[in-house]
Amino acid sequence: MWHTEYGDRVLKGAEAVVFADSALDMLQSGLLKTDVFGDIPVFNSLTYPQRIAMLHRAARAVFRPEVPMPEFTAVLDGAVGAIFLNMRWLLAKEIETRPHDTSFRSLVSLACRELTADEDLKWPEDSCNDELKWDFPLEVLHFGILWDREYACDGVLVDLPPETSSLLRAFSGIPERYFQAIADDPTPPQMEILRDELLALCAEVSRTGRAELAAAQQKADRKGKKAGGQKRKTSEKGKKPNKKDKTPGGKKRKPDDKS
């Protein structure tokens, strides 16, 4: 369970799938063993086992309703922020290398519509290849889970004098322990177990989520076809006979009628 602007909840539908897919990509692509998360110092500074541990903790909280809500800490929020950062990279990669494949962009767009349920908001077309136009949808998903980007300020506050840092934290409403919490540091065998569990969890969420989305789409398609068929029947029922289908006496001509 995770405390969000939309209430205490777990991720569902397309939102869960796109989050799980981003986490899976991080695990399978080798990104977690590199220093590409410079925009999130609190996550970039972690060791590989620590990154696995914090992603494991975050994934269980956002996907499993039986998991108690975790305490807000920079290292945990930073792990979630890293997943969103990779989400941005995945979208950019799709546009650059597979512009006609809109599968990931479609998921992002659907997740936004499910999350906000605001018909007045305008989302990019799934085929949109302008990365800048996808900034807003990605921000909507980010702030659907995280309240802000305070986790990215850790390096800035640390470099300031203690008095100034304390004042800024107090002004921003950042709990003192938020930046003091230390990431879990599993041993290599423990890390392997956590990694396998994380892979299995994200794969399960992605697989079941996609199946549910496909079933919902099929149901919507059947409903649309049924509504279209009823509309045609109603139209045909109320349609007046054509003049050429009538005999001179005004009766509708039968197939064997001869005038």
**Tens of pLDDT, residues 2-28:** 999 999 999 999 999 999 999 999 999
Residue 240 tokens read as 């007046």
- Give me the pLDDT at residue 247, please: 47
The mean pLDDT of 222-235, rounded to a whole number, is: 67
Positive or negative, the CA dihedral 9, 15, 20, 25 is negative
Total-model pTM: 0.81
pLDDT at 152 over 90: no
Distances (CA, A) of 129 to 103, 104, 106, 119, 124: 13, 12, 12, 23, 9
Q: What is the enclosing helix (H) or strand (E) of 190?
A: helix 188-237
Contact by Cβ (8 Å): 118, 104: no
Give the tens place of pLDDT for each residue, 28-80: 999 999 999 989 999 999 999 999 999 999 999 999 999 999 998 999 999 99
Rounded percentage of the chain residues whose pLDDT exceeds 90: 66
More confident residue, 198 or 252: 198
Contact by Cβ (8 Å): 33, 48: yes
More confident residue, 148 or 65: 65
**Strands (DSSP E) found in 135-233:** none
Residue that the structure tokens 């602007």 belong to? 5
